[in-house]
Amino acid sequence: MTLNIQSVRSAFPALTSGFLFGDNAGGSQCVATVVDRIADYLLNTNVQLGADYSVSVVSTNRVASGAEAARELFNAESVDEIAYGSSSTMLVENLARAIEADIQPGEEIVITGEHESNAGPWKRLAARKGAVIKFWPATHLSQYPDNPYAVGLQLEALLPLISAQTRLVAFTACSNILGSVVPVRDIIRAVRERAQELGARKVEFCVDCVAYAPHRQIDVRGWDVEYCYFSFYKVYGPHASVLYARRAALRDSLTSLAHHFLKVDDKPYKLQPGGPGYELVYGCTAVPPYLHSLTPSGTLEATWTAITAHEQTLLGPLLGYLREKRERGVRIVGEEREGPGRVPTVSFVVVGERALRSPEIVKAFDSKGSVGIRYGHFYAYTLVDKLEPKINVDDGVIRISLVHYNTVEEVQRIINILEEVLQ
């Protein structure tokens, strides 16, 4: 199954400008139908929810349909497991506050050096409760002995951290720096088994899918995960984020952040103190229909298969070019080769006798006026800071992040500019 790229691109008005959007991991372009729904909501149904008059009934139903859209993309069991918020960071901070009463002093929380949204809230929680933070590092990939920056989250580095005191493991399904897909189901199964053997009281998992959701199908039920989140603005929608919380966890692990008089024992409103942006929630309902439209069968499974296949055609030439520039000092940060475990988020540095700072390279792209890429640590500060040999964490890495609406021709444009820079 292949994507009709002309049809794909026609859904995004921004793409008609000719600008090459190569910073998609920072935020994708928006499907036109999302904007249509936001405008329709604000212009025709912008009233308070829950009333009995006709416009409020329509408005209430529209906002409720936003939970269904997210439920489908998570493959959650129920809309009562979906909470909306303004950002993923805010949602995880809310989650950390809600779980606080169920964390005991001395219990352990395992985090990674990936995006701080799934680290900072847990570090602050540990400080409040006297819990212990353990760090699961990205370790060297042995198949690339000559590239010290080829690192990734590996199970063998995680399992020794698990103990009878392990309470929560927070990690990413896909790195927004490394572009590597983490085998979520396998990791959760292995950690649960180890924790059970050691007599842990309760172990739960919080999986960051912000960098995963634009490229692969989420499956919270298949993964057996308690908490999971992503941002719709990375998945062709508006600036809104969603958090999945398994109903049993809502009931047994979380206390409510909502007003004291609201009965929300096992409802996601526990994590949603106040209403989300109603028009944005309704705008999110346009994302699943867009995804369904990309393949004849209309199934999400077929869509994500087609997206993955197309993205590999983008990834192959770019990684191949960067590998060829090894003698020039180019080092890919993360997995060096395309494949099912890699998405087209590509980071690299230029080191050695003719080293180039990351801002210098991005400045060359900026001077073209029609291509957008970026440098930095991308909120995965700890990951970048721990790379060895050391790089300037403020310069960070050069990151080129592509999605399914990018084309092979655009990849060649990027390679041509790199060729000018890396003379």
Q: How do residues 171-193 score in pLDDT, each as one tens digit?
A: 999 999 999 999 999 999 999 99
Sequence-ordered list of residues with C-beta below 8 angstroms from that of 297, at least 6 positions apart, any chain: none
In angstroms, the CA 13 to CA 257 distance is 39
**Domain 5-29+298-421 shares a fold with domain 54-289:** no
Whether residue 330 has pLDDT greater than 90: yes
Predicted local distance difference test score (pLDDT) of residue 276: 87
Whether residue 76 has pLDDT greater than 90: yes
* Six token digits for residue 139: 């370790």
Cα 217 to Cα 122, 206, 214, distances in angstroms = 26, 17, 8
Predicted local distance difference test score (pLDDT) of residue 141: 98
pLDDT in tens, 209-239: 999 999 999 999 999 999 999 999 999 999 9
3-class state of residue 354 by DSSP: coil
Q: Over the chain, what is the mean pLDDT?
A: 97
pLDDT in tens, 138-153: 999 999 999 999 999 9
Q: Is residue 389 within 8 Å of 349, Cβ to Cβ?
A: no
Predicted local distance difference test score (pLDDT) of residue 262: 87
Predicted local distance difference test score (pLDDT) of residue 315: 98
Mean pLDDT over 266-291 rounds to 94
CATH code: domain 5-29+298-421 is: 3.90.1150.10
**CATH T-level fold of 54-289:** Aspartate Aminotransferase; domain 2 (3.40.640)
Sequence-ordered list of residues with C-beta below 8 angstroms from that of 15, at least 6 positions apart, any chain: 9, 21, 29, 405
What residue type is assigned to position 3 of the chain? L
CB count within 10 Å of CB 76 equals: 24
pLDDT > 70 in the chain, percent: 100
Predicted local distance difference test score (pLDDT) of residue 275: 83
Peptide bond into 340 cis (omega under 30): no
Whether residue 63 has pLDDT greater than 90: yes
Whether residue 274 has pLDDT greater than 90: no
Give the torsion sign (CA, 41, 43, 48, 49). negative
| Domain residue extents for the chain | 5-29+298-421, 54-289
pLDDT in tens, 394-407: 999 999 999 999 99
In angstroms, the CA 244 to CA 225 distance is 9
Long-range contacts: 151-159, Cβ < 8 Å, 24+? 151/178, 151/333, 151/334, 151/387, 152/178, 152/180, 152/334, 152/335, 153/112, 153/114, 153/180, 153/182, 155/183, 155/186, 155/187, 155/190, 158/110, 158/187, 158/191, 159/190, 159/191, 159/194
Strands 204-208 and 166-172: parallel
What residue type is assigned to position 305 of the chain? T
Model confidence, pTM:
0.97
Which residue stretches of 277-328 are H helix?
278-284, 287-292, 300-324
Sequence-ordered list of residues with C-beta below 8 angstroms from that of 53, at least 6 positions apart, any chain: none
Nearest residue to 287 (alpha-carbon basis) of 59, 4, 38: 38
pLDDT in tens, 355-369: 999 999 999 999 999
Whether residue 1 has pLDDT greater than 80: no
In angstroms, the CA 168 to CA 165 distance is 9
Predicted local distance difference test score (pLDDT) of residue 266: 83
Counts of helices then strands in the chain (DSSP H, E): 15, 15
pLDDT in tens, 334-352: 999 999 999 999 999 999 9
